[in-house]
Amino acid sequence: MRETDFVSGFARGLKVIEAFGETRQRLSIAEAAKLTELDRATVRRSLLTLAELGYADYDGKFFTLTPKILRLGHAYLAATPLPALLQPHLDLLSERAGQSASASVLDDTEIVYIARASQRRVMSINLTPGSRLPAYCASMGRVLLAALAENEARAILARSELKQNTPNTKTDPEELIAEFRRVRAEGYAIIDQELEIGLCSIAVPVENDRGQTVAAINIGAPAALVPAAEMKERYLKLLKETQAALRPLLRR
As assigned by CATH, the class of the 80-249 domain is alpha beta
Rg of the chain in Å (alpha carbons): 20
Q: What is the dihedral of CA 36, 42, 47, 52, to 10 degrees?
A: -160
Quick check: 171 and 98 in contact, CB under 8 A?
no
- Map out the domains of the chain as residue ranges: 3-69, 80-249
Pick the CATH number of 3-69 from 3.30.230.10, 2.102.10.10, 2.60.40.10, 1.10.10.10: 1.10.10.10
Nearest alpha-carbon partner for 127 in 65, 138, 35: 138
Query: Per-residue pLDDT for the chain (252 aa), expressed as one digit of tens each?
Result: 566 677 888 889 999 998 998 788 899 999 999 999 999 999 999 999 999 999 999 999 999 999 888 777 666 656 567 888 899 999 999 999 999 999 999 999 999 999 999 866 555 567 888 889 999 999 999 999 999 999 999 999 999 999 999 999 999 999 999 999 999 999 999 999 999 999 999 999 999 888 899 999 999 999 999 999 999 999 999 999 999 999 988 876
What pTM was estimated for this model as a whole? 0.74
